[in-house]
Amino acid sequence: MCGIVGYIGNRRAQPILFNCLARLEYRGYDSCGIAVSGGGVKLYKDTFRVDEMARTVPRLSGMAGIGHTRWATCGEPSATNAHPHCDCSGNIAVVHNGIISNFQELKLKLIAEGHNFVSETDTEVLPHLIEKYYNGSLEAAVEAALGDIKGSYAIVALKSGETKLVVARKDSPLIIGVGDQESFAASDVPAILDYTNRVIYLEEGDIGIMTNAGIKIKRNGTEVDRKEHKIPWSVEEVQKAGYEHFILKEIHEQPRVVRDTLVGYYQEAELIVDLEWMRDAGIEAMLILACGTSYHAGLVGKYIFEELLRIPVRVELASEFNYYPQTLAKTMAIVITQSGETADVLRATRRLQEVGCRVLAITNVMGSTISRLADQTIYTSAGPEISVASTKSFMAQLVTLYWLVMSYSRADVKRLDDMLMGLRQLPNKIQQVLDNKSSIKRYGKYLSGYENVFFIGRGLNYPIALEGALKLKEIAYIHAEGYAAGELKHGPFALLGRDTPVVAIVAKDDTYEAMLNNIREIKARGAPVIVLFEEEDGTVGKIADFVITVPKVDFRFSPIINTVVLQLLAYYAAKERGCPIDFPRNLAKSVTVE
Ligand code: F6R
């Protein structure tokens, strides 16, 4: 989604703003812009890429400025609708993420008062409101302007003649980076890691005043203290480190991610979160909410929670949960969101809390909105994920769910010990998949020649079929459907034929025989079948056209190994098709609109 940056200090703002904006490109955008204060406000914006824009803008000497990458929601992508937006005089400039729900009403009022609007955006009301309320203090004017608006925002405002930036947030992320006689504003940590790893997370409703001399944060007019945090991520982690794409690097980081996640949990305590209250509170059911890839992690969670905790688990798409009545008696909720900013998940969380449901969040981003909203938070240790499509953060979610259920389970010790042993072996097993990627590459290339592909699985691997299909769709632009293997005959069989390859995930568990029958049925309809299977047992190879052999693991962890294979399959298909793999069209890393 949109990215925000701001800089004030003793260096020229222009190159810093462009550098920070480039670090936010992974979020997805269709236009960008900067405004630099110095001899008036100098404004440049267009539907360019950031590097193109950086080449176009003349040298500006100002040492304070703001910048934005826009992902159009309100008005088409265009130079006029791009941020920053200005007031009538062109002296006040604002960048904004979020949605101002009452902007039409405010705009009409402002027009009646003589303000001139040029764009279709909701954001443009902000500089005009600030202009209206300005009486010598930018922060007072920003505060008054925010008092008029309904909706969500993260904003940075500047005014020519005032050596400060004013920032504010509500329901949209914004951080302040602390430097030496300089400070930074950003919607996301990677933007500023080249300059500082000291960060202040703004709370809902905070107004920050950034000057050369330091940072003040106010709430309802009174100064408040906000803790400074040290970000453990390095700049290298947000770079490609020799890989052709971020996603390839992130796929290869997964052995490390699994290892770090487990080590982190071991070190912290035996239980990563204390769930004993669940027993005390008589919790009888669990609800898992998420979107997209995180939803698929939740579906795997359902299988393992039900097996090991013996309680009913519902998994819902957060975007659907928000629109129908709920029965949530004696239910505990887990929300899964790598970004911690997905609007549907945040809304669902608030709804849950309104009805007294306790919420445990699993997220990868420290200080994200969900971590401040939820009753308890578990951070996954995936590190920064730059590619829009989730890979390593999904892996970290899966491992966290396994660990969570094992921490809480009262299953017999032998079973848990076996699982623990299996978990510990996973980094090496994943590495084996990565070391043998040349065969997967071959099948990725093969799939790249088709326009429709089915992915099927059963049990624990059904969600992985959904995830494999999602990855292929989003990065290789191939239409793909993930199906529970037994469901194909209830409709999709009508589509099967030579031009519709099927990727079947076979596990040596209770579903094995049924899966083989499903594959036979598919073969009888002429569709080519690629099977993922842990060993060549003489049967699978006879039925399938191709077999990708995966390392053998405890069947409960087969989703982890199969995930890595399907990620690589999608990657190589996308590469063969020449797709912009890290930044697929129309997609954004965090989806902050419902
Ligand atoms: C797909 C992908 C998305 C996200 C979804 C939810 O690769 O990344 O489907 O999983 O947008 O995002 P989070 O997990 O940030 O709530």
Of 249, 302, 429, 589, the active-site residue reads 589
Per-residue pLDDT, 101: 86
589 is catalytic: yes
Q: Where does residue 411 rank: exposed (0-12), middle (13-18), buried (19+ CB within 10 A)?
A: middle
Decide if 516 contacts 543 (C-beta within 8 A).
yes
In 3D, which of 156, 127, 126, 168 has the Cα closest to residue 65? 156
Rounded to the nearest 10°, the torsion over CA 466, 468, 469, 470 is: 80
| Beta strands at 153-159 and 92-97: parallel, antiparallel or unpaired | antiparallel
Q: What is the mean pLDDT of residues 194-200?
A: 94
Average pLDDT over every residue of 54-76: 92
pLDDT (0 to 100) of residue 225 = 93
- Nearest ligand 1 atom to the CA of 293 is 10
- Contacts (Cβ under 8 Å, ≥6 apart) of 560: 258, 395, 398, 399, 426, 429, 430, 553
Assign residue 64 a region: left if phi > 0, alpha if psi is -120 to 50, beta otherwise?
Answer: beta
From the CA of 291, how far away is ligand 1's center (Å)? 6
Alpha-carbon span 329 to 308, nearest angstrom: 21
* Residue 393 CA, closest ligand 1 atom number: 14
Could you read off the pLDDT of 97-151 as tens digits, one per residue? Answer: 988 989 999 999 999 999 999 999 999 999 999 999 999 999 999 999 999 999 8
| Distance in Å, CA 441 to ligand 1 centroid | 25
HSE value, Cβ hemisphere, 13 Å, CA-based, for 490:
5
Torsion sign across C-alpha atoms 185, 191, 196, 199:
positive
For ligand 1, atom 3: residue with the closest CA? 292
**pLDDT of the residue at 588:** 74
Which DSSP category does 273 fall into?
S
- pLDDT at residue number 275: 66
Q: Which atom of ligand 1 is nearest to the CA of 590?
A: 15
Strand runs labelled E in 64-109? 64-70, 85-86, 92-97
Q: Are 335 and 320 in contact (CB under 8 A)?
A: no
Tokens standing for residue 346: 């945040």
Spatial distance between the Cα atoms of 144 and 126, rounded to a whole number of angstroms: 10
Residue 71's pLDDT is 81
pLDDT (0 to 100) of residue 188: 86
Name residues contacting ligand 1 (CB within 6 A). 291-294, 337-339, 342, 345, 389-390, 470, 474, 590-591
Do β-strands 479-484 and 359-363 pair in parallel, antiparallel, or remain unpaired? unpaired
Q: Is pLDDT above 60 for 591?
A: yes
What's the first-to-final CA gap in the chain, in angstroms? 12
294, 316, 373, 567: which to mutate for ligand 1, most atoms within 8 A of CB? 294
Contact call for residues 207 and 143 (beta carbons, < 8 A): yes
Distance 395 CA to ligand 1 centre (A): 13
Probe residue for ligand 1, chosen from 467, 591, 592 as the CB with the greatest number of ligand atoms within 8 Å: 591
Q: What DSSP designation does 459 have?
A: G
Task: Provide the pLDDT for residue 325.
Answer: 66
The DSSP letter of residue 203 is P
Ligand 1 atom closest to the CA of 345, numbered from 1: 16
Q: With 60 as the cut, is the pLDDT of residue 424 above it?
A: yes
The pLDDT of residue 96 is above 70: yes
Looking at residue 232, its pLDDT comes to: 79
Task: Answer whether 492's CB lies under 8 Å from 518's CB.
Answer: no
Distance CA 425, CA 439 (A): 23
Range 277-306 average pLDDT: 91
Rounded to the nearest angstrom, the gap between the alpha carbon of residue 329 and the centroid of all alpha carbons in its chain is: 30
Minimum CA distance residue for ligand 1 atom 16: 337
Peptide bond into 501 cis (omega under 30): no
The candidate with the shortest Cα–Cα distance to 202, out of 222, 176, 223, 229, is 176
pLDDT tens per residue, range 491-521: 999 999 999 999 999 998 999 999 999 999 9
Distance 336 CA to ligand 1 centre (A): 9
pLDDT at position 266 is 67
CA of 110 to the centre of ligand 1 (A): 38
| Ligand 1 center to 389 CA (angstroms) | 7
The residue whose CB lies within 8 Å of the most ligand 1 atoms, and thus the one to mutate among 390, 583, 590, is 390
Backbone angles phi, psi at 519, to 5 degrees: -65, -40
Prediction pTM value: 0.80
Share the mean pLDDT of the chain.
91
**Which residue's CA lies nearest to atom 9 of ligand 1?**
292
3-state SS of 360-406 is: EEEECCCCCHHHHHCCEEEECCCCCCCCCCCCHHHHHHHHHHHHHHH
Q: Strand 3-8 to strand 64-70: parallel, antiparallel, or no bridges (unpaired)?
A: antiparallel
Residue 569 to residue 468: CA distance in whole angstroms: 8
What would the pLDDT profile of 341-354 be if each residue is shown by its tens digit? 999 999 999 999 98
Q: What is the pLDDT of residue 345?
A: 96
Ligand 1 site-directed mutation target among 1, 71, 187, 293, most atoms within 8 Å of CB: 293
Low-confidence winner among 200-204, 361-365, 536-540 (lowest mean pLDDT): 536-540
Q: What's the one-letter identity of residue 431?
A: Q
With H, G, I as helix, E, B as strand and everything else as coil, classify residue 123. Answer: coil
Convert the pLDDT of each residue in 15-45 to its tens digit.
999 999 998 887 778 899 999 999 899 999 9
Look at ligand 1, atom 15, and give the residue with the nearest C-alpha: 339
Q: What is the mean pLDDT of residues 215-226?
A: 92
Band (pLDDT 50/70/90 cuts) for residue 81 is very high
Q: Which atom of ligand 1 is nearest to the CA of 471?
A: 7
* pLDDT tens by residue, 255-288: 989 988 887 776 654 445 666 677 777 888 999 9
Which of the four pLDDT bands, split at 50, 70 and 90, describes residue 467?
Answer: very high
346 CA to middle of ligand 1, Å? 13
Per-residue confidence (pLDDT) for residue 190, from 0 to 100? 87
pLDDT of residue 32: 95
**Measured CA angle at 450 (ends 498, 564), to 5 deg:** 110
Atom of ligand 1 at shortest range from CA of 318:
16
- Residues 247-262 have a mean pLDDT of 92
- pLDDT, residue 538, reads 77
Residue 1 — pLDDT band, cuts 50, 70, 90?
A: low
Cα(64)–Cα(14) distance, integer angstroms: 8
Please say if 2 is a catalytic residue.
yes
Rounded distance between C-alpha atoms, residue 132 and residue 233, angstroms? 42
- Cα 591 to middle of ligand 1, angstroms: 8
Residue 150 Cα to ligand 1 midpoint, Å, equals 26
Residue-level pLDDT at 590: 74
Residue partners of 518: CB distance under 8 A and separation at least 6: 456, 458, 485, 486, 488, 504
Q: Which ligand 1 atom minimizes the distance to the CA of 292?
A: 9
Q: How confident is the model at residue 532 (pLDDT cuts 50, 70, 90)?
A: very high
Mutate to test the pocket of ligand 1, among 320, 338, 391, 392 (most ligand atoms within 8 A of CB): 338
Whether residue 76 is predicted with pLDDT greater than 70 in this model: the reply is yes
Active-site residue, from 2, 32, 86, 291: 2
Q: For atom 1 of ligand 1, which residue has the closest CA?
A: 389
Name which residue sits closest to atom 11 of ligand 1, judged by CA.
292
DSSP letters for 141-173: HHHHHHHH--B-EEEEEEETT---EEEEEESS-
Helix axes 462-476, 437-448, angle to 10 degrees: 60
How far is residue 551's CA from residue 557's CA, in Å, rounded to a whole number?
Answer: 11
Q: Cα of 292 to ligand 1 centre, how many Å?
A: 5
Beta-strand ranges (E) seen in 71-111 are 85-86, 92-97
- Looking from the CA of residue 363, the nearest atom of ligand 1 is 14
